[in-house]
Amino acid sequence: MIEIVEERILERIAETLMGELSCALIEIEENSDDAIRLPPLRYVGLESKIPAGTGFPKAFVSLEVGSCSLKDRVIKNSLFTVSLRLLLADEKVIWRYFTAIEKVITARRLECSRCLLEKKTNSGMLKIVITL
């Protein structure tokens, strides 16, 4: 069976965020001065595959194949851009979730040669550039 790289990346991101993000969120809760609770994500994956009735917080993941430079093509690097769209019940804590996601992804490195968190916005979008 041929392994599809894009599916593997999506699975690793979903697995990492569902499994390890809750520890980072608890750490952020303990270090903050207020009593805001940060529940773990209930769903991470493609928007088209979300089970009915899934509550907040959740993250939709999409993957785009990036454009490679000549150097990347010569050494056979693959460049992907992963977009995470967070949907939270309370949008005021979105930056805490971004901090936790950044911590988990940079610690895990997702089995790639380079993992760069590129863009954060107030609308709940986070872009991650992955080079394999």
The stretch 45-60 carries a mean pLDDT of 89
Q: What is the value of pTM for the model shown?
A: 0.77
Residues β-bridged to residue 62: 83
Query: And the tokens for 110?
Result: 């997702």
- Give which of 91, 123, 113, 107 is closest to 17, Cα–Cα: 107
Q: What tens digit of pLDDT does each residue of 6-34 get?
A: 788 788 888 888 988 999 999 999 988 88
- Say if residues 59 and 43 touch (Cβ distance below 8 Å): yes
Q: How confident is the model at residue 67 (pLDDT cuts 50, 70, 90)?
A: low
Annotated domain spans of the chain? 5-131
pLDDT value for 9: 79
Cα–Cα distances (Å) from 1 to 4, 63, 78, 120, in that order, read 9, 22, 20, 37
